[in-house]
């Protein structure tokens, strides 16, 4: 089988596995969530009928209009019991938090623009903000690759004489443990203490959903009306999300390096991780290669000449 045919076959297998994975996930979610959805819908219908039967003076059309208005308002992050004088979805801290979730593509959906102008501005803002965010993350991660990735691997190779595959694998495992502790376990513990209604599992779930940029929006920090220091809390979460995304991107870059060393990228016919640049390469001191020093061309003046041979 030629290289081109093998590459097409591997890609086809990956696509088939991915489609099967999506179908299985859809079936599982449907089996788990659809009965609960039907149960909640039945309870809502029952409450509506009880309200109508007990209070016959209420107009049905008025009640339905009220319910529809409440649902639409809740979609935009506005609730009936919200006190706009104390908590607002568009104060400075909340607006910063919304902007951060917009350009990082997390998008919880708990707060959305109400006006047409706001919607149009969101399109333009995200159009430039999303690639700019990626540019910033990429620039930061590239500069962290040398001190946190290349140098430790090179140090362990020289200090312990490890094979490049062994050194990079151990480095990636250690890096993964550090990321899990400082960006998942520790923040989840803090969130579970600050958010009264969140368990540790729910806080860990929020961290994972957020840093993977899934952003389901079922758990959003700082939405409790009685939240203390809400502006500072929102800004702190915003900083955590940005640093967390940077850490996740750093993990992906490190995994790509590991895949290059292990030969996985070549096996799947994927592009290798791009070089870190001449500036970064200069920061890593490499030992001289004996083969290179021995194979340097001799000085022309030092070469033997046949004319000097006495006949």
pLDDT tens for 9-46 read 876 887 788 788 878 888 887 888 888 767 766 766 67
Is the pLDDT at 272 greater than 80, yes or no?
Answer: no
Average pLDDT over residues 92-115: 85
- pLDDT given for residue 261 in this prediction: 73
The SS3 of residue 130 is helix
CATH classification for the domain delimited by 89-269, as one of 3.30.540.10, 1.10.287.70, 2.40.10.120, 3.40.50.300 = 1.10.287.70
Cα–Cα distance between 42 and 150 in angstroms, integer?
59
- pLDDT given for residue 273 in this prediction: 67
Positive or negative, the CA dihedral 204, 207, 211, 215 is: positive
- The DSSP 8-state label assigned to residue 110 in this structure reads S
pLDDT-derived band at 268, boundaries 50, 70, 90: low
Q: Which of 49-53, 192-196, 222-226 has the highest mean pLDDT?
A: 192-196
Average pLDDT over residues 176-190: 95
Q: Which range is least confidently modeled, 63-67, 112-116, 269-273, 295-299?
A: 295-299
Cα–Cα distance between 53 and 219 in angstroms, integer?
36
Give residue limits of the domains in the chain: 13-75, 89-269
The CB density around residue 233, as the number of other CB atoms within 10 Å, is 18
Is the pLDDT at 85 greater than 70, yes or no?
Answer: no
Rounded to an integer, what is the distance from CA 197 to the centroid of its chain? 25
Average pLDDT over residues 171-176: 91
CA angle 177, 241, 209 (to 5 degrees): 70
């Amino acid at each position: 089988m030629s290289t081109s045919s093998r590459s097409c076959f591997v890609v086809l297998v990956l696509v088939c596995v991915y489609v099967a994975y999506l179908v299985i996930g859809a079936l599982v979610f449907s089996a788990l969530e659809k009965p609960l959805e039907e149960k909640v819908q039945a309870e809502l219908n029952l409450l509506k009928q009880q309200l109508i039967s007990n209070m016959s003076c209420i107009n049905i059309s008025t009640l339905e209009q009220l319910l529809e208005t409440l649902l639409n308002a809740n979609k935009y992050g506005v609730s009936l019991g919200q006190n706009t004088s104390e908590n607002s979805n568009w104060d400075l801290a909340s607006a910063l938090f919304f902007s951060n979730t917009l350009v990082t593509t997390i998008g919880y959906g708990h707060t959305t623009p109400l006006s047409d102008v706001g919607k149009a501005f969101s399109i333009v803002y995200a159009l430039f903000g999303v690639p700019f965010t990626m540019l910033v993350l990429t620039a930061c991660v590239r500069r962290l690759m040398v001190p946190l990735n290349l140098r430790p691997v090179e140090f362990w190779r020289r200090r312990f004489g490890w094979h490049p595959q062994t050194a990079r694998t151990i480095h990636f495992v250690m890096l993964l443990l550090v990321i899990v502790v400082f960006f998942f376990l520790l923040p989840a513990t803090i969130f579970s203490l600050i958010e009264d209604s969140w368990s540790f599992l729910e806080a860990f779930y929020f961290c994972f959903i957020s840093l993977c940029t899934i952003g389901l929006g079922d758990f959003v920090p700082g939405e409790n009306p009685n939240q203390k220091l809400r502006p500072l809390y929102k800004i702190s979460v915003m900083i955590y999300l940005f640093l967390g995304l940077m850490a996740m991107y750093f993990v992906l870059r490190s995994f790509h390096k590991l895949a290059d060393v292990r030969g996985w990228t070549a096996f799947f016919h994927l592009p290798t991780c791009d070089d870190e640049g001449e500036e970064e390469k200069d920061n890593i001191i490499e030992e001289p290669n004996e083969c290179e020093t021995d194979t340097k061309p001799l000085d022309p003046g030092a070469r033997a000449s046949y004319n000097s041979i006495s006949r």
